[in-house]
Structure 1
Amino acid sequence: MFKLDHNGNVLLDINATAPPSAAFVIEALEKSTFCDCKIDLDAINNFFKSESSESILIVASKHDAALEVVINDDKMLAVGELTTAQGGKLLSLDVAKKQLVKAGIVRGYKQVFLEQLLQKQLKAPAGTVVKGVLAKGRLPSDGLATKLTTTVKTLKDRLKTPKLKEDGNVDMRDFGKLASVEPGTVLIRQQPATPGKEGFTVTGEILAPKPGDNKQLVAGEGTEISKSNPMELVSTISGVPVEINNGMRVDDIFTIADVNVKSGHIDFEGSVIVTRNIDPGMRVTAKGDITIFGTVESGELTAGGNITVKQGIIGHQKPEDKSLSCKLVSVGDIHVSHSQYCYIEATNIFIERQTSHCIMKAKRLLQVGQTDLPKGKIFGGEILDATTLIAGEVGNESGAKMVINLATSGAEITADTDNCFKDLAKTDQQLDTLQDALEKADQVKDTEKKNQLIAKIGATQLHYCQQAEQLEKRLSTLDHDLHDLLSDANLAVNAILHSGVEIHIFDKVLKTTRNYPPCNVRLQNNKIEIEFKTS
């Protein structure tokens, strides 16, 4: 009934088969081998409507699968629209690739995209349109900015992390010890800016990326760019690292305006300078010097070097245990303008004007007043220890009790001396025992055994003899130290020594019952004597 010509048309021979209607022809086509071909409905219907006399009618045609490549306006996506075959050939991979090239697809193509689209023509009905992505462009990736990674804890970091107390609460005054670094410590590592990654369209146009912002690593004071690695900033001195813009500096002297709740307690390996004041309840600890240009009120200072307070130090007596709220302890010297209700401990203590109701302990000198002729006032409180105390006025007119202890460390020297004598007695006893053993060994008849015993006892004797010699030297040193300490022990008063002052020098005591003019109070002939100064 139907036949195919060389042009791919399906022909119906009207003379050989006279179909009764258009519906009959269409139904016959759908049941024939040409069912997948494209039926020309218009030609069939027109033939029967016009009662045409044509003997051959084109009722259908074969069509191969066809691919149309559609590129978006921004050229970032190419989509394939595949019309499935109608009685014709399936679209092959090679032919499809040529279509992509013809459409101008240069980049972003993946063969798997095309294969997935071609697979659809096997299942889709004839003559339908199936779609699939064929190529994707890529947007540019902007570069990353220079990244500076801090490798040490800075002051800024410290202030973010208050310490936990034992009860689990946070101490908002205590941020822990200031981070310090040694020379050669890596402070910052630099990761250079990246240029970014270029993008492209499916037609091959390059999309330029935006390069990352480039930052120059800045070496502040006390730092340098590493000679072995230009991407590292290292410290050149010991101190505290402080952030600056795009870099860091290292301060060997930590400087701060005020020590308060906002700053937290200060704990630093080097020296500390406070340009203003220290608020109540705050602590400053330094391995070096501490210098305060303002005042210290009920604060606590601890220094491995000297402590200097340009103005006053002021505390109060705590009601719960009668301790003092202000405390200064220094391995070196302490210099303050004036003090009140404070505990002060140092090698030497210098108070420019006056001190009242303080507890003080100096290994050597405690001076109240200017250097040339100290005439400062000291009253109330207690001197726990000092070798020499120099002041203008000691005590006050009311005769209120005041205790001064000089050469208190002599008790430690005496205790050490007693221990040395005990050790020396034990050593002498051991030597006596060894001497008896040596005499007995000399009576042994076996020569070899006798010689071995004598050698062993002799070595032990040598050990105890050396120990006895060291103890005797130690006793001599302690005797000289005690003699020097008691000779130097002196209360020098340049104006007036009031009544009611209890003076202890080593193990002797003198309590003043009246006022004295300028004088020196010393230990002479095993008792405390007051020597008046001649003008």
Structure 2
Amino acid sequence: MSHLDDIFEIQISNDKMRATMLQHQKIGENTELVLEELQNWVKEHGVIFGIYVENLKKIVDDNGSITSPIVIAEGKSPINGNNAYLDAVQLDMNNGINEKVVRVDLKNVADIPSVKQGQVVGKKIEATIGQPGLNVIGEEISAKSGKDFILRPGKNTSVSEDKLKLIAQVDGQRCIETKTIHVYPVYQVHGDLDMKTGNIEFIGNVTIRGNVPAGFEVKAKGDIRVQGTVEAATLISEGSIFVAAGIVGQGKGIVKAKKDIHTSFINQGNVEAEGNVFVNQSILHSKCIVNGSIDCTKGKGNIVGGQLSAGHEISANEIGNNMHTTTELFIGVHQQVLESITTHQKQLKLASEELEKLNKLLLVFELKEQQGKALQPKERIMKLRVKNTINQTEEKKAIAEEELLELNEELIQSQTGVVKVKRHMYPNVNLTFGKYRRKITVNHQYVKVSIIDSEIQIIPL
């Protein structure tokens, strides 16, 4: 036992990531503290990694005088790997390639560059492995590697041989999803939608360089881009929707996108998006249902009246007004997400059951061949069909498993839903987080609202 045991004590934190030294009694006047001796004593007590030699030297220089606990070692935290993701190659107006993230500019909503057949439209950035850490007693702390995904071809795109690039198979415009990219032909209207053009239903992207008046319908498999105003019309897109001059719904019609919606303002509109909604100015007396987030923080950035539902976050500069107009906000998992989970669970179950039957059937043919019996022509054709169906069913099963994993993660993340107000939140704003409800009765400024300890709490932003 060292004489230093009577003078000092080493305390190691519960997570073993920090070691602290305390002093219990003074060193004798005739005793000289030596750095090498102190270092060895620290190591004898199990602290072998991340030692702050300069702190030990300071203790020696002060001849062991510690007025307060001093940190003598800290561990190295693990660094988790990055998830794989799809990077959409940015295109310039001359069909050149620029390796930057795609950005949306509503002012140039109709001037979207096209892609050419054979052009690379997206790249998969591979997942990275994590870097393990070490605690102060030298134990390795494992790190999580990033999650991978399978790059699959979209409509009119193919996957390169190295499985890392998506290549356009036709000339057209891109429609970007999380894990794939489609290339659609483009239908353009050079002006307002009117009786001459009529309603539009198109397999690709639709670009309207004017307005969409009340009563008209535009449906697209790709993106819809409107340079003017959308009135009480119906816009349904399997991609994203961009409306440069705003949505004036008059409580009628609907603007619905499978991905995101970008617009200047929404007034008495009905808006639904499986992704996010980005509004540059105001959302007034509207109904918005969004699986992701609603962002209204540019310009005036106010939300007044109506009902807004978001899975993750609602952000605005102001919510409500001085007139105390009733404004309803719902945060958390939307019913569509729950229904989607149920649907994919059924798809996964059906695919698993079908694979079991198909593999049994394939085994019958293989056993017959192993016994030296030749398959009849019809049996050979049937065997090939069974193999092809197995491949297709395995693909369906893999997709269902991936979607379920993401949806369940979304379900967990939704419990951390939040409302952020950069300036004012006025009275008569009603907040609902699942089973929790709260009515705002006083003015709040610069606040964040979320569930903390099973209740809706308002804290400074």
Same fold per TM (> 0.5)? no
TM-score by length of 2: 0.45
Q: Could you say which structure has the greater relative contact order, defined with CA pairs below 8 angstroms and 6 or more residues apart?
A: 2
Query: Normalising by structure 1, what TM-score?
Result: 0.39
